Amino acid sequence: MIVEATATGAGTFYHGLYGGAVSQRRAHGKNRGAVGEQLLDPFGNEDAVHTFRSWIDFGGKLEVDLGFGRGGFLVEQASRTRESRWVGFEVRTRLCMEVMDRLNRQGISNVRIIQADARPIVDQFFPVGSISHFYVGFPDPWWKKKHHKRRIFSPEFVHTLHSKLTATGSVILRTDVTDYAQNVREVFNAHGGFDTQVVTPDELVPTDRERRCADFGLPVSRLRFTKKGCL
């Protein structure tokens, strides 16, 4: 069963994100065929939040990958931690379908994929204090100053992430853009609700891009922003 779902008012949420309104976002394409219950395409069903929460409330740690790309980290980490529930966000249909195929071939059932920009979804889909970790691997730095508003770590979204984390939860960033890493650090520091630590390479399964950076000898910044507690 495919769950064709959305939070109420998706048109309002998506306007201005990733190039404009919902119709433009859908240019990435609809998912193909019946792929099982693991893929949520969050448009058109007011029961989406209830359907999703019935799964995440089942038990176990909840981990969220924001923009999984080719899915190397998500698939491998979910395979290693079958006791946890994993949610992956990605806007590109082709990548969602490729990762779904890999999950099905490997019999990995503790993952749900949401084909959407996470920013307008996270607040409604996840209960307060429910998520152990958010992972963000190599997000678009949006180089031009006029595009900085499109960066994932806006002050508003950082506030949302803080509210959704457990008491000891964290947001983990990996990027190969040093200036962008510093910008993200400043946004989290300005929030005031996080402690910042450097993550060593051996603490995490590498992403596909991280492996390519290693092949070419390119430096990668790895930062963990751990929740201090309620403000």
Which residues are tagged catalytic? 140
Long-range contacts: 43-50, Cβ < 8 Å, 24+? 43/4, 43/5, 43/6, 43/10, 44/4, 44/5, 44/6, 45/3, 45/4, 45/5, 45/6, 46/6, 46/8, 47/5, 48/3, 48/5, 48/6, 48/7, 48/125, 49/7, 49/124, 49/125
Q: How far is residue 154 from each of residues 162, 188, 190, measured CA to CA in Å?
A: 12, 9, 11
